[in-house]
Amino acid sequence: MERKGPVGREPYEIFREACHEFRSSLTEKDKALFKEFSDATSILATIKEDAKSHPVHSSTLTPCCKGINSIANRLSPFFDIASLFVSSHPEFAALAWGSIRLVFVLGSNHAKFLERVCGMFENMSILLPAYEEYASRLRSRLTAKGHEGSKRIFKTLAYIYADLIQFCFEMCKLFTRKRSRLLMLHSSFAYSTVWRPFDIRYDDLLQRWKDHREIFELEMSITANIQQFEIGDRVDELLKRVDGDWGAKTTYTRDLKELDIDSLLIRLKSWIDPPAWAYAFENSQHRRSERTTEWFLEHYKVSRWLSRITPERTISVLSVQGKPGYGKTTLCATLIEHIQTYYTSYSTYDSVAVAYFFFDRQRQANSTAMAALRAILTQLLHIFRKDEAILDIITLLWDQNKTGQVTASGSEIISALCLLSSRISKLFMAVDGVDECQDHEDLFDHLKEICQHTDSVSVAIFSRPTLVIPQDLSSMLQHLDLTSTMNFESLETFLQPKIQRLARDGVISSEENRDQVVKLLASRANGMFLWVRLLVEYLQSPNLSIRQRREALKDLNRLQGLDALYQEILRSIEQRTWQAARLNITRACQFVSYAPRPLHVNELEVAITTTLSSAVDEYDTIPNFGKALSKMSGALIELDSERKARFVHVSVLEYLTDQSRQDQTLDSVSQLVKERSLAQRSCASCCLAYLLYSIPAEPLGGGPQVIADRDLQKLRYPFLEYSAQYWDYHFSEFLLNLPSVLSQECDFAIYGITAAYKVKL
C-alpha cells in the first residue's frame, strides 16, 4: 500500500508508524538491551541504577541523569494528554521511555559524548509546554466537542512523538557501529530527500518544538475563549507551517549539499585544531630507496599484526624499537603506505582506515600527545567525510560545546576518537618517535582509553629502546627489536649505486673490490641508515680532496658511530672554510638548536649574515641560500616542506646540545652551540642588531595613520617578525644560563645602570 505524505497523514498513523519502525530498526544486540517502561518513575529509577553500577563512568554518568530527568518530567504529562486521544495504546509511551533508556545504555561507555546528548534532551524539554496545567481543560474540551475539535492538537503531539523517536534512533546510531536498517520517519524533523548536517537537523527539531508549544498554548487559549478570532488566525498560520515546513525538504540540491559538507569540514577541522602532520611521512617516502624496506613488511611479527583484520583480541599493539638513525621513520612510512594500498580497500570490510603521526622534538607543535590525537582525529574526519554518522558525531560535539572555546578540549578529542574507533571496522594507528613525545605517559593512557571498548584498533609504536612502556600494556603488546642483521642487505642495496658513483669520481680506485667496500660500510653502519647516508654525503663533500676521501674510507674507526661522524663533519667544515663562513654555519646551528620556533629559510639567511654594527643590505646575502645550506652544514641541516630549517635528525640536535661532550677547542662550532649561554647571547645579539640598524625608526606604513602591510614587510624585512618577537626570549635564556660568576657580574652591572638612571631622574 502506498504511503501518504507527511501532510495528509492521520495523527494516529504517525504514532503507530514511529512505534513500529523503531522496533524494526533494532539490531539483535539492541533488542537484548531494550526494555519498555510504563511510566517516568520506573525509567528514572532504572537509569539511576544503571549509572550507579557502571564499572568505569559511574561518577560521570550520574550528572547525565539530570537531562534525562528533565525530558522525562515534561513527557510524563505529555503522554497523559496523548492518552486522551489514544487511550488503548499504552505501548506508545512505553516504547518512548524504552528508547530514551536505550540511548543512555548505549552511550554509557562514551560518557563525555552522552553528557552532550543529555544536555540536548534538557534543551528539548525546555521547549515543551507545561502540559500538566492544561490536562483538565483539554479533558473537558474533548468531553464537550469530541476529538474532531482537537485534531490540530493531536497532530502536533504526533509530530513531537515522531521527533522524539527519530532523535533517539539517531543517537543510538551514533553509539553503535552498524544498524540493521535506517530509520527516517516521514513526520519527523529528520525527513529529507538528501542529507543535512546534524546541527541543522537539530535546529529544525528545536524550531518544530517551539511551534508545537505555541500551537498548543494557542489552542488552550481558544478553549478558554480568549481572543478566539485573532488566535484562530495565528493557529491556522502555524498549522500551514506544520503541514509545509515540517514535511520533506526537497529544495536542497546536490551542489548545495556538497557545499555544506565542505564548509562543515572546514569548521570542524578548525575546531579540532591539528598541527601539520604529513611532512615526515612524505619526506620519508621521497628519501626511501627502492627495495630497502620489504624485509620489514615480511617480518612475521609485522605480518601477524597486519593480519589481525577480524575482531579477535590477539595482538593489538606492536612496539618497534631501534637505535637512533636506524631508519624507524622510513619503516613507519612504509607500513602506513602498505596499509593505505592493500587494506583500506579490503573487500570484506566496509570501513578500514589508517591514521598516523610522527613526533618531532624539533617542532614543539608536534611533540605532545594531544597534538598526535588531534591530527589522527582530523585524518579520520577526512577519510570518512562521506559517512554521515561520523560527521554527525563530531558535529554534535562541536555544536553542543558549552565552554565557548574556539578549539576542542582534550576530553572532547578523546571522546570523539573513542566513539569513532568503535564504529570503524578496523583502525590502524602508526605513531613514530614516541620517545620524542613530551608526555608519552599521557599518550599511553589515551591509547588505552581509546581501545578500552573496542577490539578494532591496532597500534604500531616506533621508538628508541630507551622508551619505557607501561606494564599494563604488556597483555596486548608485541615487541619487535630492530637489529643490525635485519637491514644489512637493505644497507647494501642502498650503498651499491653510491659506491659506483664514488668510483666514477675516483674516490675508490679501480683495484679495490667495490662489493667488499659495500659490505664493509654496511657492516660498519651497525644498522644505522643515517650513518651511511651522512657518510656518503661527507665523502662527496666539495671541501675534501680525493686523497682525504680515500683516507676517510681507510680509517673508518675514526668515523664509527653517529657522534664520531658528526664530529668529523663539523671538524671538516672548521678546517676547510674561512672564518666568516664558520661564523655563518655556527649561527645557523645556534638558531636551529635554540630558536623557540623553526626559522624560514629567508629568516635564517638574514639571521646568520647580520652584522652587529651596521644595517643589512643587498650584499649581505648568500647566493642560492636554500640549496647552499645543506652543503654549508655538511648535510646536517635541511629544509622541510614549508622551507623551514631543521636538523636532518634529532640526534644531531642531541649531539650539539649534549653538555657532557668534551670539545678540544673552545671556539669550535660544536662548542659554541653546546654552550647554551653563548649561543643564546649570539642569537639575541643578531636580533637586536637587526632591529637597531636594519629597521628604520619610523612607521613602516609610511605614516602614523597608515597600517603597514604584513606580507610586504616580510619581503622587505624577512627577519623583523622573529627578531621583534623573540629577542627578549634569547636574552633571558642567556641570563638564565650564565655561569654563576658571570651572572653575579651581570647583576652588579644592571644594578649600577639602574642606580645611575635613578640619579639622573
HSE-CB at 80 with a 13 A cutoff on CA atoms is 17
For residues 129 and 18, membership in a common domain is answered with yes
Judged by average pLDDT, the poorest of 123-127, 222-226, 306-310 is: 222-226
The answer to whether residue 447 is domain-embedded is: yes
Rounded Cα distance, 577 and 556, in Å: 23
Same domain (yes/no): 455, 512 = no
> Quick check: 664 pLDDT over 80?
no
Tally of domains within the chain: 4
* Torsion, CA 682, CA 688, CA 689, CA 693, rounded to 10: 170
When the pLDDT of each residue in the chain is averaged and rounded to a whole number, the result is 82
Confidence of residue 63 (pLDDT cuts 50, 70, 90): confident
Domain membership of residue 546 as a residue range: 488-553
User: Per-residue pLDDT averaged across 670-678, rounded?
Assistant: 86
- Closest alpha carbon to 691 in 717, 661, 658, 659: 717
Residue 256: pLDDT band with limits 50, 70, 90? very low
Task: Give the other-Cβ count within 10 Å of 583's Cβ.
Answer: 16
Mean pLDDT of 500-518: 79
| pLDDT of 680 above 90 | yes
Q: Find cell 599521557 and name the residue.
A: 442
Between CA 400 and CA 113 the distance in angstroms is 10
209: in domain: no
In a domain, 210, yes or no: no
Domain limit, last residue, from 430, 453, 481: 481
Q: How confident is the model at residue 248 (pLDDT cuts 50, 70, 90)?
A: very low
| 506/359 same-domain check | no
User: Does the pLDDT of residue 253 top 60, yes or no?
Assistant: no
| 635 vs 706, more confident | 635
Instruction: Give me the percent of the chain exceeding a pLDDT of 90.
Output: 32
pLDDT at 746 over 70: no
Q: According to the model, what pLDDT value does residue 224 have?
A: 58
Shared domain for 462 and 516, answered yes or no, is no
Instruction: Please check whether residue 460 lies inside any domain of the structure.
Output: yes
Instruction: Choose the final residue of a domain: 143, 162, 186.
Output: 186
> 466 and 511: one domain?
no
| 14-22 mean pLDDT | 89
Confidence label for 257 from pLDDT (cuts 50, 70 and 90): low
Would you say residue 205 lies in a domain? no
Residue 573 in any domain: the answer is yes
Consecutive H or E run containing 638:
strand 637-639
Identify the bridge partners of residue 647 per DSSP, sorted by sequence position: 637
Q: How much is the pLDDT for 3? A: 45
Please report whether residue 221 resides in a domain.
no
Between strands 637-639 and 645-647, the pairing is antiparallel
For cell 499504552, the residue is 90
Model confidence pLDDT, tens digit, residues 529-569: 999 999 888 888 877 788 888 888 888 877 888 888 888 88
Over residues 313-322, the pLDDT tens digits come to 444 889 999 9
CA distances to 27, 82, 128, 212 from 131, rounded to whole Å, are 34, 10, 8, 12
DSSP class of residue 8? Answer: S
What is the band of 663 on the pLDDT scale with cuts at 50, 70, 90? Answer: low
Joined grid coordinates for residue 241: 507551517
